[in-house]
Amino acid sequence: MLYGGGVPLADLAARFGTPLYAYSADMIAARYREVDQAFSGYPHTLHYALKANSTLAIARLVRGLGAAADANSGGEIEVALRAGFTPEEIVFTGVGKSEAELARAIELGVRSINAESEGEIERIDRIASARETRARVAVRVNPDIDARSHPHISTGRKNNKFGVAIEDAREMCLRMRDRQGLRIVGLHSHVGSQITHLEPLQHAAEALATLACELRRAGILIEHLDIGGGLGIPYEGQPVPSASEYAAAVLPFVQQTGLALVLEPGRYLVGQAGVLDVARYRSFIAMELNVSVEDVHALLLGGHGDDMVPLKRYTSVGGIPVTQLMKPDRLEEIVKRARNGGAEIVGLLKTGSAYYAPAAATVAMAESIIRDKRRILPCAAYCDKEYGIGGYFVGVPCILGTNGVERIVEIELDGDEKKMFQTSVDHVKELVKAVKL
């Protein structure tokens, strides 16, 4: 029997019905405490990056653990407020902030608006001055550091659009310090995501600390250094830094300033708490045949939702191919229902989000990793050459063990499956392209 947080999932299914969607709170809490403990010897605040998963239940969970919030949009500010975070516990980050979003953040009095450019700071000054208040601003600095991550999620080089060039930041702060609507309270840096080497994070912390000392000598006294997030997780079984190693790398530089430290962990807390939603497909088949879901074995490829590719040829019930137990048209209806499950959930909820991690699948993945079971489960994994894909995360069968994704399992696809899978991959590529713009 599978357990989630010490609770038999069969009992939850009996109580709430199936398909049942839940979260592994224990795993998220353990990751949070790992980071918090690593920095326990120095004044710090963990602002959970809501962009990693802004589901209200998870936001409330991390708040209960002691976290503050990092909001990347006006919508995420509202999620943070609904979850119980106070404005003073919110930092507002992100490029392309609208006038309305800035006005809302200023009126609330968030801990800081992490400003990306001199133009944005001028807009903040204008909006705040019109309201006869002073906005708390942290200047995002671009330290021209290679995150050694995927180029699509690296944000700390000169050719990236994020932040003020570090060589320009000091003079800009001097120009802005006497503005009526501004109070410069911090420096911020985020050099990329899914970082698996400590050197970029270490160099970024050193650059921020050096700039903070220069500002102090110039008479600008800030309150905190925000070193962002970006710490990676083992998608491909590669070694990744632990939270304690991360702290040991950056704290020596931060300690020299005596300033409070802000961190923005997101992926590191929740990135290993979910898998591609094969549980939905399995549950529908089990209900149709009136059998235990434990006897249903299935594989999916591609993206989540409309683009998922359930592999009917590799689906079995008690070792019997599902094609021998169910008529083709009925099986196709179940496939369509699995793809459209997110819309079905939203329809049932009337409001909210369809981004749920299935309880059975989440716990199965966690157990396989923690106990090194090396199970084959469908996961969103980084494909280099597998399935003919280069440089994208897509849903594929993976062996999960102590190192996360130990190996991607490649299986033979027929013509229709290849076509559907390519469509799904193309949509992933379109999404990546849109995010880069």
Residue pointed to by tokens 């590191």: 268
**Annotation marks residue 304 as catalytic:** yes
Say which residues have a Cβ less than 8 Å from residue 168's Cβ, sequence separation at least 6.
none
Convert 323-388 into a string of H (helix), E (strand) and C (coil). HHCCCHHHHHHHHHHHHCHHHHHHHHHCCCCCCCCEHHHHHHHHHHHHCCCCEEEEEEEEECCHHH
Q: Quick check: helix, strand or coil at residue 12?
A: helix
Length of the chain as a residue count? 437
Is the preceding peptide bond at 200 cis, omega within 30 degrees of 0? no
Q: Which residue has the tokens 């959970």?
A: 48
Distance in angstroms between the alpha carbons of the first and the last residue of the chain: 46
Q: Give strand pairing partners of 407.
A: 399
Place of tokens 């509202």: 78
**Residue showing tokens 């989000």:** 353
CA distance 398 to 407: 6
d(CA 133, CA 372): 55
Distance in angstroms (rounded) separating the CA atoms of residues 135 and 73 = 17
Q: What is d(CA 362, CA 67) in angstroms, rounded to the nearest whole number?
A: 23
Instruction: Using CB atoms within 10 Å of the CB of residue 342, give its burial: 0 to 12 exposed, 13 to 18 middle, 19+ buried.
Output: middle
Beta 3-4 vs 7-8: how paired, if at all?
A: antiparallel
> Tokens standing for 319?
């070792």
| Cα four-point dihedral sign 165, 166, 172, 178 | positive
Catalytic, out of 152, 224, 304, 427: 304
Rounded-to-integer distance, Cα 91 and Cα 19, Å: 36
Catalytic residues: 304
